[in-house]
Structure 1
Amino acid sequence: MDELHSATWRKSSHSANGGNCVEVSDDIPGTVPVRDSKDPHGPALLFPAAAWSTFVTAVRTGGLDAPADSGR
């Protein structure tokens, strides 16, 4: 996907440890590419924008937290 070469990437707002985190781009309509900030020239995962939005909402609201009795 040629658009990835010229995409503007932003790091996660929760990045730590010198910025070792994920980066996303908002430049491709309908698709959210995600990559590892430590490997900016490596592969990117492509998610449908609606699926990414659902995932981010679930993370923000605690919908993906492990149950308290899961042993974690």
Structure 2
Amino acid sequence: MRDHPYNGIAAAALQGIVWEKSRHSNSQAACVEFAKLPCGGVAVRNSRYPDGPALIYTTAEVQAMLLGAKDGEFDHLVRD
């Protein structure tokens, strides 16, 4: 793996990292997984496609997303 992986890198190429998912994920493995990278970034992948692409974010970007989610800013995306 390169020191700074790029967006869209194959998740399988990110060796030696630990993928985590929310305890709220469903049993059909349909969830988003996150992994802290040695370079300080955070990788995100779709658990349905574990070898598929991973998106790479800075910790500041992930922090902003988590704060927005906690504040309910994205609730409209999952309402019927």
Range into which the TM-score falls when normalised by the shorter chain: 0.7 to 0.9
Q: Which residue of 2 aligns with 1:8?
A: 18
Structure 1's 33 and 11: CA in aligned 2 closer, same or farther, altered over 3 A?
same
Structure number with higher helix proportion: 1
How far the C-alpha of 1:55 sits from its partner, in A, is 0.2
Partner SS state of residue 15, structure 1? coil
Q: Does 1 or 2 have the higher relative contact order (CA < 8 Å, sep 6+)?
A: 2
**Aligned AA (1:38):** R
Please say which of residues 51-60 and 2-11 is displaced more in the overlay: 2-11
How far the C-alpha of 1:32 sits from its partner, in A, is 0.6
**Aligned AA (1:51):** E
Instruction: Select which of 45, 53, 63 maps to 1:43.
Output: 53
Q: Which residue of 1 aligns with 2:8?
A: none
For normalisation by structure 1, the TM-score amounts to 0.74
Partner SS state of residue 75, structure 2? coil
Q: Percent identity?
A: 33
Query: Highest CA radius of gyration, 1 or 2?
Result: 1
**Aligned AA (1:43):** P
Structure 2 CA distance for aligned equivalents of residues 50 and 14 of structure 1: 23
Partner SS state of residue 5, structure 1? coil
| Residue correspondences, number | 66
Q: Which structure 1 residue ranges, 5 or more long, are not aligned? A: 67-71
For normalisation by structure 2, the TM-score amounts to 0.68
Instruction: Select which of 57, 64, 71 maps to 1:61.
Output: 71
